[in-house]
């Protein structure tokens, strides 16, 4: 999966806006917009300034299951 990262904000795009860093912790990752490789290729030229698609593998945490 691919996500949108903005280097100016140092944040990831979510459905509600952008992730935030609160007290040193990145919040909002569960709501990040995810794209397939093909969607990222087709929309790479339509991103706002400072944004790009980056590969973000699916995370599975053993202690949360």
Q: Contact at 8 Å (CB) between 65 and 14?
A: no
**Residue 45: other Cβ atoms inside 10 A:** 6
At residue 53 the predicted structure's pLDDT band, cuts being 50, 70 and 90, is very high
| pLDDT tens by residue, 26-50 | 888 888 999 999 999 999 999 989 9
pLDDT above 70 as % of the chain: 89
Write down the pTM of the prediction. 0.80
């Amino acid at each position: 999966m691919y996500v949108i990262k903005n280097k100016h904000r140092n944040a990831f795009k979510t459905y509600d806006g952008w992730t935030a860093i609160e007290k040193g912790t990145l919040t909002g990752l569960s709501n990040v917009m995810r794209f397939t490789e093909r969607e990222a290729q087709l929309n790479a030229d339509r991103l706002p300034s400072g944004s790009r698609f980056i590969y973000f593998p699916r995370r599975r945490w053993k202690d949360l299951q």
